Amino acid sequence: MLNDAFIKFKEEMARRGLRVADKIGEGGMGSVYEAFDEALERRAAVKIMRADAGGSAWRERFRREAKFAAKIVHPGVAQVYQAGELESLLYYVMEFVDGEPLSAFLKKARFIESHKNDAEDLIAAGYIKRPDPNMPYFLRDLISPPLADPLHLGRIDELIAAIADILAAVHALDSVHRDIKPSNIMISSDGRVKLVDFGLVKQAVDGDITQANQFVGTFDYMAPEQFRGKNAKISPAGDIYSLGVVYYELAALVKPFEGDDIASLVGAIASKAAVDPREHNEKISAARARIILKCLAKDPSERFASAGELASAIKDLKNAPAANIIDGIKSFFFGLFSSGVEEEPAFSASEGFDATARERRTAVSEPAGREKSQLADKTEVRSAADKTKISRTLFEEAREEYFKNFVTAAVQEKLKQSYDIDSNNIDALLLYFLFLNHGIITRPEFEQKLKLSRESESA
């Protein structure tokens, strides 16, 4: 009997110094148990294949899973300690991940989204608890909808980028995970992310053990090409698609494709374009939506070329908005003081300042009766090093003039030329700030830009 085999398995493992305890997870092929390595005095996890899980093909999958997980050297993959067969049960021992799957967070998020007006009553009844701020974000209890949290999208970006980095390590071994989904993404108690369950991994050097007309993966997260069964062309682009589904789901709390039954779901995945996630969550930026939808492209060649490229695109989201806003604020001030024209810089909340704003404001005609600085005339054919030197010289001249005569047209003009020659000369900009009076600081348009800058930093 299976139960007798498992009892004997536990007894023999205990004699070898590994105490197998309670079941902590279960999948299609086997179950995972917590264990304790007495010799090394550390917690471990043991995955045991169920004897009734399938025939020889499934046993081969299990062996491949253990071998492949042992090959990956990455902090985002649980380390494999040993593997074998005992009492006709295939098993392997691995690093214990103290945490929860990402699917648990999504379950809590959807629940509180549908009960957001009942949070206090649910807390009073003991059904939900107030979140512990010391817990990692994706392990916390929720008492308010995460989509209302201004930091939610930024945290998702960091998580998806981290998973993409793990996938890059998997793909570097000429392999494809084939089952990226929230339940296979673990969040540890210290906030680290771990990718688990390599039971469906496909390696280029392996023979194909997929049966004809057999779909491999979880339907909601499978790429369109995976529904071709044995004829499917499996590539890393499939994992990128699946991760895009997870990204969409976290950002919008709905999946990009749904159906009343399996046939309608598969039909939608294969033929329909994903709805822009901003229709479900208006706080998603246009740049973020483009990344998500690129992951979900029907044609694998139209997705990101690699998981590393996806990770880089997501990481760039954090820097681009703030840089654009700061650049726009610079343009606003230089336009205001150089030209004397109070022109509002073009701005979009999702895209940042218009890239042409600086050109419009710095193309200022020379004041009548005043010649350009001779230094500025010589910059057209200068090297970058020369331009930096000239810019600094102009700045020093402007600063000396400023402390002698305070604000004059000559000071303003030299500072403008200094910055135009070398936009990295922030000292020129800072000296301009000294020209600001209280009336300028409290201008509504300036307050708006300062607010947007702060929001971009917090996101």
Q: Do both 27 and 83 map to the same domain?
A: yes
Q: Do both 52 and 157 map to the same domain?
A: no
Three-state secondary structure call for residue 187? strand
- Residue from 274, 265, 267 nearest 297 by CA: 274
Final residue before a domain boundary, out of 72, 95, 118: 95
Confirm whether 176 is domain-assigned: yes
Q: Do both 134 and 86 map to the same domain?
A: no
Q: What is the CATH number of the domain that holds 146?
A: 1.10.510.10
Q: What average pLDDT does the segment 318-339 reach?
A: 54
Confirm whether 310 is domain-assigned: no
Final residue before a domain boundary, out of 258, 282, 305: 305
Q: Can you give the pLDDT at residue 396?
A: 80
Q: What average pLDDT does the segment 321-341 reach?
A: 50
Q: What average pLDDT does the segment 380-384 reach?
A: 55
Q: Do both 176 and 110 map to the same domain?
A: yes
Confirm whether 28 is domain-assigned: yes
Bridge partners of 318, per DSSP, are none
Q: At what angle do helices 286-295 and 236-252 cross, to 10 degrees?
A: 140
54-58, 166-170, 252-256, 451-455: lowest mean pLDDT where?
451-455
Evaluate whether 167 touches 159 at the Cβ level (below 8 Å).
Answer: no
Confirm whether 226 is domain-assigned: yes
Bridge partners of 42, per DSSP, are 37
Q: Measured between alpha carbons, how far is 39 from 17 in angstroms, rounded to an integer?
A: 6
Q: What average pLDDT does the segment 238-244 reach?
A: 97
Q: Do both 347 and 364 map to the same domain?
A: yes
With bands split at pLDDT 50, 70 and 90, how would you rate the model's confidence at 331? low
55-69, 122-136, 311-325, 364-378: lowest mean pLDDT where?
364-378
Bridge partners of 23, per DSSP, are 33
Confirm whether 47 is domain-assigned: yes
* Of the ranges 174-178, 216-220, 343-347, 426-430, the best mean pLDDT one: 174-178
Residue 227 CA from chain centroid, whole number:
27
Q: Do both 290 and 327 map to the same domain?
A: no
Q: State how far the alpha carbon of 322 is from the alpha carbons of 158, 366, 451, in Å.
A: 17, 32, 11
Q: Do both 387 and 452 map to the same domain?
A: yes
Two structure tokens written together for 96? 């214990």
* pTM (whole model) above 0.85: no
Residue 352 CA from chain centroid, whole number:
20
Phi-psi region of 20 (alpha: psi -120 to 50; beta: other; left: phi over 0): beta
With bands split at pLDDT 50, 70 and 90, how would you rate the model's confidence at 276? very high
Q: What is the CATH number of the domain that holds 54?
A: 3.30.200.20
Three-state secondary structure call for residue 185? strand
Q: Do both 118 and 250 map to the same domain?
A: yes
Q: Do both 143 and 292 map to the same domain?
A: yes
Q: Do both 177 and 262 map to the same domain?
A: yes
Count of structural domains, the chain: 3
Confirm whether 313 is domain-assigned: no
Q: Do both 10 and 140 map to the same domain?
A: no
Q: At what angle do helices 444-458 and 307-339 cross, to 10 degrees?
A: 160
Final residue before a domain boundary, out of 41, 71, 95: 95
> Is pLDDT larger for residue 92 or for residue 456?
92
Q: Can you give the pLDDT at residue 455?
A: 61
> Is pLDDT larger for residue 118 or for residue 431?
118
Confirm whether 232 is domain-assigned: yes
Confirm whether 278 is domain-assigned: yes
Q: State how far the alpha carbon of 11 is from the alpha carbons of 14, 38, 83, in Å.
A: 5, 14, 17
Three-state secondary structure call for residue 342? coil
With bands split at pLDDT 50, 70 and 90, how would you rate the model's confidence at 226? confident
What's the domain range around 347?
319-458
Evaluate whether 242 touches 197 at the Cβ level (below 8 Å).
Answer: no
Residue 306 has pLDDT above 90, yes or no: yes
Q: What is the mean pLDDT of the chain?
A: 79
Q: Can you give the pLDDT at residue 206?
A: 53
Residue 164 has pLDDT above 80, yes or no: yes
Q: Do both 90 and 110 map to the same domain?
A: no
* Of the ranges 151-160, 323-332, 349-358, the best mean pLDDT one: 151-160
